[in-house]
Amino acid sequence: MTQRTIKHGDWVKIVESRTEQKKQSLRKSSRKNTPKSKKLSIPFISMLLGAFIILASAWMYFSDSTKSQGATLDLNAQNKVSRYFSKQFMMGSWQFKRAKFDDGEVNIFISIPQKLSMSEKELEGYIKHSLCPPMNSRVWLDINQSELYINLYVDSPRKGNFAQCQNPNSHA
């Protein structure tokens, strides 16, 4: 009783030829099932183009109207606001890092040495009542109707806490 054995190389050739045959049969069957591509009609393309133009013009209209509501402060006002907050945090371990002026927003970033042991609500109240400029401060003349945010952080501004100051110039 001798059993016939196949050498590994012969076995690999058989397996490879079978897998190649399966791949070819799958390719042929997938070609038969795919429909012929249809050409897009000109009216359909013109409708898509028209819809795109309408959406783009609506986006431009609404983005322009939001920008006109809050203009960026002029350079002189930006310098005055930065100077006001840098003087507030000249002494001690709290440091004024920078002021960021966007459309209708002024963001003040203050680095603190360690996280304050307050809840988020308590910290927001602390910022509003202790760090925001008083209502009669001249800095509000420079800020005008822009929104003022004060950000406190330890390592990264993204991980910090912030609060919006009550602007006496706003109409809300």
Cα distances (Å, whole numbers) of residue 19 to 30, 33, 80, 94: 17, 21, 76, 70
In the chain, the amino acid numbered 117 is S
Q: What is the per-residue pLDDT for 73?
A: 82
In a domain, residue 144? The reply is yes
> Could you tell me the residue range of the domain that residue 124 belongs to?
97-165
Residue ranges of the chain with pLDDT lower than 50? 65-69
Q: What is the pLDDT of residue 57?
A: 83
- How confident is the model at residue 39, as a pLDDT? 62
Specify the pLDDT at position 32: 63
Residue 17 counted as domain residue: no
Residue 52 lies in a domain: no
pLDDT for the residue 138: 92
- The span from the CA of 31 to the CA of 39, in Å, is 19
- pLDDT of 128 reads 93
Q: Is residue 50 part of a domain?
A: no
- Structure confidence at residue 151 (pLDDT): 95
What 3-state DSSP class applies to 135? coil
Does any domain span residue 138?
yes
Q: Is residue 131 part of a domain?
A: yes
User: Could you give the number of structural domains in the chain?
Assistant: 1
Let me know if residue 26 belongs to a domain: no
| pLDDT reported for residue 44 | 82
Q: Is residue 63 part of a domain?
A: no
